[in-house]
Amino acid sequence: MLLQAVAAAGAQTHPLSGTIAEWVWLLPLLPLLGFLINGLLSLSSAHLGPADPSATAHDEPSEGAAEASVVTHGEESGAGGDDHHAVKRHRWAGLTSIVGPGVLIIAFGLAVAIWQTMVSAHPDAPFIQRYFSWMPVGDLQIDAAIQLDQLSMVMVLVVTGVGALIHIFSVGYMRDDPGYPRYFSYLNLFVFFMLVLVLGANYPVLFVGWEGVGLSSYLLIGFWFNDKQNADAGLKAFIVNRIGDFGFLVAMFMLFANIGVLDFVGVNAKALDLGAGSALVTTICLFIFLGCTGKSAQIPLYIWLPDAMAGPTPVSALIHAATMVTAGVYLIARSAALFSLSPVASLTVAVVGAVTAIFAATIGLKQWDIKKVLAYSTISQLGYMFVGVGVGAYVSGMFHLVTHAFFKALLFLGSGSVIQAMHNAYHATHSTDDAQDMRNMGGLRRYLPVTFVLMWIATLAISGIPPLSGFFSKDEILGSVFARAHGSSLATATWLGIPGGTLLYIIYGIGLAAAFLTAVYMTRMMLYTFHGPTRTGAEEEKYLGEAPWVMTGPLVILGILTVIGGWLNLPKVVTDIVPLGPGELFGHFLDPVVGSATARITAGATEVAPTTEEALIGAAVIIAVVGIIVAVARLKPANVPRAKDAIPETGFEGVVAHKYYVDEALDRTVVEPTYVVSRSFLWRFVDNGVIDGLFVNGSAALARTFGWIGSRLQTGNTGIYAWSLVVGVLLLLGVITLR
Amino acid sequence: MASFLDSIGYNGWVLPALLVIPLVGAIVVLLLPAREPADGTAGVESPAARQVAFWFFVLEFIVSLGLWWSYNPADRGWQASIDISWIPSWGVRFTLGIDGIALMMVLLTTFIMPLSTLGSWTNIRTKVRSYYALLLILSSGMIGVFLARDLFLFYVMWEVMLVPMYFIIGIWGGERRIYASIKFFLYTFLPSLLMLVAIIYLGLHLRGAGGVPDFSYDHLLAANTAVPQRTALWLFSAFFLAFAVKVPMFPFHTWLPDAHVEAPTAGSVILAGIMLKMGTFGFLRFGLPLFPGAALNPTVRMIILVLAVIGIIYGALVAMVQPDFKKLVAYSSVSHLGFVMLGIFALTLQSVQGALMVMINHGISTGALFLLVGIIYERRHSRLIDAYGGIARVVPMFAAVLTFVSLSSIGLPGTNGFVGEFLVLVGAFRTYPVLAVISTTGVIFAAVYLLWALQRILFNPLDKPENTHIPDLNRRELAMLVPLIAVIVWLGIYPAPVLRRMETSAQLLVDRVQAGTSAPRVSEAAP
């Protein structure tokens, strides 16, 4: 293939050249192919309009039009807002079920093969395939190129692996949806853009994926678009993300203006030219981070993620928990060379992450919608990841990204099983009750035993109970914060007048507090959903039941990963005591990419004594256990009223339940004023009033006064004037030319 | 390909042929017999006219396509030139030529014209022959503007282009067509007269060999240092007004929403797709190179740049609150063209190349948006956003295309829109970082106005019974949209061939203008 020939020439000496890694271009291409096939299948039921469209508009619809509308109605009817109304399956559903997940499974297989090659070759430099010149303008040379290194490898494995599981789950979950091929085409499109994001060899190509996943997210949040709430949520997600993208763009402009390159290899090589600790590098990093707060739902741009739960639940699992929202963490790890030069920007990342972690956790305490709890939990956990990459613990941040992908995907898919069971029950009894409100659940362990067990495993993992994966990854982040509070480049810097060391201790404290709240709100969710009496309704209970294996199968695999994920990166202090195998595998794997940046931050940091480290781990575990115990002791599922009988909460609890009224405040202070000013002042006053009214029509009126005199001599038919102008000019030119 | 073109002497005849083919087409169309509407022609009188016009435009496109290969990007001079004495006593010559910039503008024009003919297919039902004849004449005029190497010839073409558009809006337009067409005519005609005065002054003042007035571009370019600084400022102002109205720059833009809304679909497509480029093309070809000192006078330059940035934000905000979808698209043009002006006056290679890309992209994407507005208007006879809602369910193909084109218009990476805006901003940041950052917020507002409109048209509940029977795209409409979609993808992913063809000319322009500002000038006191 041509692409390969070109690419091979550029990467002759790399240890991965000539291996299966040469096929890396196939990774994004496969889901793109899936998108095209499923997209065409989706449009295949559309009907061409008549040759003369306007004729049908006045009169009765023509035969063809009537037929079209009837068919399209059957097509999408019932997709009016929420999950699963049993209607006739889409005619191409069978083919879609093969193509949609199929491309992901193949891609995952390829990714595993490449990963194995990479583990044995252990390349120190990224493997770069250059395909063609994308934007060559003078000294700006941007190539369409892919970069494969350990960092992108981790992301590729998560995206294709977890992605494949969620695609398979979707086969069951979306089974009866009339928009079945459309759903899979969007989902494939998402994976395509996500792979472009993690494989791009320069910032602009990464940005293609970055905005592309935003687009897929927009399309999938508003998948059931005939419900205004869903369409609103999609729009909000896209616009809030664009605010972040603005920052990303400016960061790219600054990089190009100052070091003249935008590819990762070039930026890493020239980063020092920006000056360690300079205001310039800090500004660049902060603009990059603005982009991250949008994509990864951190303060202040987190507001879109809870609304994004309007999308189908597998979408929430894949895009809004496991992969897309972690892109910000990836971007910072990818830009580690820049961030490690700016302690101020790094500390900002850590502070924002910590504040987001605890802020979102408090909101999670008061949500009743099961998906909203998980949404705020995701925001909170993303905060942890930012704390990790913010303090220069890039490995820990990425490690938490991976384990979080396992247990949060499990939690979301589990909630999907729950919601589907609830929905089927309510659908069977024609009830209009909310299938996602935990106040309508309770006691579901009797009906969904597999889901029940698996979700408890994930809950314990996210709470930080050993030896589950979340325990290791969260603990490593907190441990790194603690370790860097002494002697690292962060500890010696000051942030808004606060000494970095002090700040890191504060962040550590916040992290522990958030861990406590995590344990509480997750236990609360489990108690209200699965324990106590069933509040679903007597008639409805007959219809509750476990999901088919195509859905529980992926859950089981994710459950296993949740349990054993911690083995990826066992801390030294653990392997010293318990011989569980080699420690810090993940850290060694990522070392070629982020090692030097980490070293730049930790240079001078004092080692934490093993006893202190053991004490810290002990404290974290105790806090998690206490959180669970407090929740079990304080919350009584038996006392929860059904959703329709609930009384609204008041006081501070009400404020929290309303998410601190942030959305409302933004509406009042930003959205509405912008609209009113644009409409009343800019359009009506400036455009219509001043420019058009005063100047244009004013001068026209002046001219008319003169014209009135002239009109005495003329007929006033402008058409005749203009025609005579054309004829006159043409004649004149003709005469002159021929003369 | 190049050797085949050489063997038929392509470069020798292609440029005049591009001017003549549409004129021949116009004559043929007018000579067609008047016919009452026949069966199967949807009540269109003289249906043969549209066929003839369409095939002439296709011929024109095929002929022009050879330029893509025959053009040599390495050559800094004019290519495919012809030079004929025209009005010797006035020193006016019929001189044509292309550089990389004109090349892409000509190709854009010949590409858009057949598609806009298809867009008129069933919605122009009366005076059909005149309509297509005017469309053909208009095409000649527009191509003439891009090709002219003589300022007098340029002016003639500039006005030739104005008149057919006046009629297209005034005769086949909407309800307020008379107001809109007169506004359009006066708004663009009056500043053009000022430009004519400036052109005549230049020709007379900077006489060529033998004391004959000389309007040749190359001559004026070489001799312009003889114009005193103060005079140059006045002359530039005249050109500026003529071009700024055409762009349109804030605050000279208010003809545009009216003209766009009232014009028939093809009129809007051509206005947005091609005619708005005349203004920015004018700055690139004439405004900056002829008067570098005046254009880059720090105050003048800052005023223009600030107006450009205001245009970006203002256009987007006003677009956001429009109840009429066609007007929304019209105001979005003000925003997009603001990016072009920013790119031109930031004057780095990247920003100028970006400006050229935005010019092309805007022609493609906004042209496509107007075609889509026309399609839905033809079915429901309403342009109001509120008249729709939820129709993605009824017209899935229309919805898919509208969504895709909107995404290109808001500059989603991977589509053409991103390449242009990115280059403009990355280039402008080098010279005017603050203005570039402010302009970058335009990408946020673009998403707001277009996607919000999209939501209210395509998504939300399908709650109006009259919307449940809208027919989807037909074969002809698909045939005119698919090429546009293909170009959107092509220019988004692989714009390099286009960028390479324009780079030499863009670089030449940047060098020339920057050199011009530092060149010695005749002082005020000199005779």
Mean pLDDT of A301-320: 93
Name every residue whose Cβ is closer than 8 Å to that of residue B197 and which is 6 or more positions away in sequence: B238
Q: Collapsing DSSP states into helix, strand and coil, what is residue B252?
A: coil
pLDDT at A578: 78
- Write phi, then psi, for B390 (nearest 5 degrees): 75, 10
CB spacing of B156 vs A736 below 8 angstroms: no
- CB-facing half-sphere around the CA of B204: CA atoms within 13 A: 6
pLDDT, residue B175, reads: 86
pLDDT at A121 over 60: yes
pLDDT tens digit string along A443-489? Answer: 899 999 999 999 999 999 999 998 899 999 999 999 999 999 988 88
Cα torsion angle, A445, A450, A453, A459, sign: negative
Partners of residue B469 in chain A, C-beta under 8 Å: 56, 61, 65-66, 69
pLDDT value, residue A9: 47
In this prediction, residue A252 carries a pLDDT of 96
For A242, the closest of B43, B418, B444 (CB atoms) is B444
Q: Where residue A2 falls among pLDDT bands split at 50, 70, 90?
A: very low
A127 DSSP β-pair partners? A148
Contact between chains at A54 and B455 (C-beta distance less than 8 A): no
pLDDT of residue A11: 47
pLDDT in tens, A381-426: 999 999 999 999 999 999 999 999 999 999 999 999 999 999 999 9
pLDDT tens for residues A501-529? 999 999 999 999 999 999 999 999 999 99
Q: No. of H helices and E strands in chain B? A: 23, 2
d(CA B266, CA B248): 19
Q: Which of B476, B379, B396, B482 is nearest to A47 (CA)?
A: B396
pLDDT exceeds 80 at position B299: yes
Identify the band that residue A582 occupies on the pLDDT scale cut at 50, 70 and 90.
confident
Do A57 and B379 count as a contact with CB atoms less than 8 A apart?
Answer: yes
What's the average model confidence in pLDDT over A5-14?
54
Residue A58 scores a pLDDT above 80: no
Q: 3-state SS of chain B: helix, strand, coil percent to 5?
A: 75, 5, 20
Query: Is A133 close to B394, i.e. CB distance below 8 A?
Result: no
Local confidence band at A75 (pLDDT 50, 70, 90 cut-offs): very low
pLDDT tens profile B213-260: 888 898 888 888 788 888 899 999 999 999 999 999 988 998 999 999
Q: Which residues contact A644 (CB under 8 A, 6 or more apart)?
A: A433
Using DSSP's 3-state secondary structure scheme, residue A139 falls into coil
Q: Do B496 and A204 touch (CB under 8 A)?
A: no
* Cβ–Cβ below 8 Å for B451 and A65: no
Write the DSSP symbol of residue A80: S
Q: Which of A685, A683, A242, A696 is nearest to B314 (CA)?
A: A683
* pLDDT at site A720: 62
What are the angstrom distances between the C-alpha of A8 and each of A3, A13, A127, B177, B212?
Answer: 9, 9, 10, 61, 63
With 50 as the cut, is the pLDDT of residue B276 above it?
A: yes
User: pLDDT band for position A338 (50/70/90)?
Assistant: very high
Residues whose CB falls within 8 Å of the CB of residue B258, separated by 6 or more in sequence, listed in order: B176, B179, B180, B183, B184
Contact between chains at A225 and B375 (C-beta distance less than 8 A): no
Residue B466 tokens, joined: 């009259």
Q: What is the CA radius of gyration of chain B?
A: 22
The whole-angstrom separation of Cα B258 and Cα B273 is 16
Tokens of B42: 């949807």
Radius of gyration of chain A (CA): 29
Closest Cα in chain A to B159: A726
Chain B residues with CB inside 8 Å of A135's CB? 419, 422-423, 495-496, 499
Q: What does the block give as tokens for A127?
A: 């493997």
Query: What residue ranges do the domains of chain B occupy?
Result: 297-493
Contacts of B460 in chain A (CB under 8 A): 225-226, 228, 231
3-state secondary structure of B93: strand
Q: Which of A39, A65, A249 shows the shortest C-beta gap to B425?
A: A249
Q: Which SS3 state, helix, strand or coil, does residue A78 take? A: coil
- Return the closest-CA partner of residue A604 out of A410, A392, A448: A392
Residues in chain A closer than 8 A to B447 (CB atoms): 238-239, 242
CB contact under 8 A, A137 and B414: no
Contact B195, B155 (CB under 8 A): yes
CB-based contact B151:B203 (threshold 8 Å): yes
At residue A5, the pLDDT reads 44
pTM, to two decimals = 0.92
Greater confidence (B401 vs B293) lies with B401
Q: Is A330 exposed, middle or buried (0-12, 13-18, 19+ CB in 10 A)?
A: buried
Tell me which residue of A408, A418, A425 sits closest to A444, measured CA to CA. A418
Gap between the Cα atoms of B44 and B46, Å rounded: 6
Residue A495 sits at φ, ψ, to 5 deg, of -125, 110
Percentage, residues of chain B above pLDDT 90: 68
Average pLDDT of B56-84? 92
Find chain A residues with C-beta within 8 A of B394's C-beta: 68-69, 72
Q: Tens digits of per-residue pLDDT, A339-360?
A: 999 999 999 999 999 999 999 9
The pLDDT of residue B88:
83
Please provide residue B415's backbone torsions phi and psi, each rounded to the nearest 5 degrees. Answer: -105, 170
Whether the Cβ atoms of residue A451 and residue A552 lie closer than 8 Å to each other: yes
Subunit contact B459:A253, Cβ cutoff 8 A: no
Residues of B in contact with A72 (CB under 8 A): 393-396
Residue type, B147: L
Two tokens, residue A705: 């006064």
pLDDT at A657 over 90: no
Please judge whether B422 and A249 are an interchain contact, meaning their C-beta atoms are less than 8 angstroms apart: yes
Output phi, psi for A16, to 5 deg.
-90, -10
Tokens 């096939």 sit at which residue? A37
Q: What's the mean pLDDT in A708-733?
A: 64
Neighbours of A92 (CB within 10 A): 18
Q: Helices A203-221 & A180-199, crossing angle to 10 degrees? A: 160
The CA distance from A331 to B293, in Å, is 45
Mean pLDDT of A105-118: 95
Residue A60: pLDDT band by 50, 70, 90 thresholds? very low
Inter-chain contact A53–B461, Cβ cutoff 8 Å? no
Query: CA-to-CA distance for A597 and A370, rounded, in angstroms?
Result: 39
Torsion angle defined by CA atoms of residues B181, B183, B184 and B187, in that order, rounded to the nearest 10 degrees: 160
Q: Which of B214, B12, B199, B203 is nearest to B97 (CA)?
A: B12
Whole-angstrom distance, CA of residue A173 vs CA of residue A374: 18
Which residue in the block uniquely carries the two structure tokens 């806009």?
B116
Q: Is B300 helix (H, G, I), strand (E, B) or coil?
A: helix
Q: Which residue has the tokens 């990007």?
A: B73
Lowest mean pLDDT among A258-262, A708-712, B178-182: A708-712
For residues A66 and B469, give the distance between their C-alpha atoms in angstroms, rounded to a whole number.
6
Q: What is the pLDDT of residue A78?
A: 38
- Residue-wise pLDDT for B302-340, tens only, equals 999 999 999 999 999 999 999 999 999 999 999 999 999
- Write down the mean pLDDT value for chain A: 87
CB B336 within 8 A of CB B273: no
Give A39's contacts in chain B (Cβ within 8 Å). Answer: 400
Residues A634, A365 contacting (CB under 8 angstroms): no
Residues of A140-150 as b/e, b for ≥16 C-beta within 10 angstroms?
bbbbbbbbbbb
pLDDT tens readout for residues A129-185: 999 999 999 999 999 999 999 999 999 999 999 999 999 999 999 988 889 999 999
Interface test with A, best of B321, B388, B491 (most A CBs within 10 A): B321
- Nearest partner of B436 among A294, A287, A249, judged by Cα: A249
Q: Which pLDDT value is given to residue A662?
A: 85
Write down the pLDDT at residue A68. Answer: 37
Contact B469 A65 (CB under 8 A): yes
For testing contact with chain A, the best of B386, B422, B476, B482 (most A CBs within 10 A):
B422
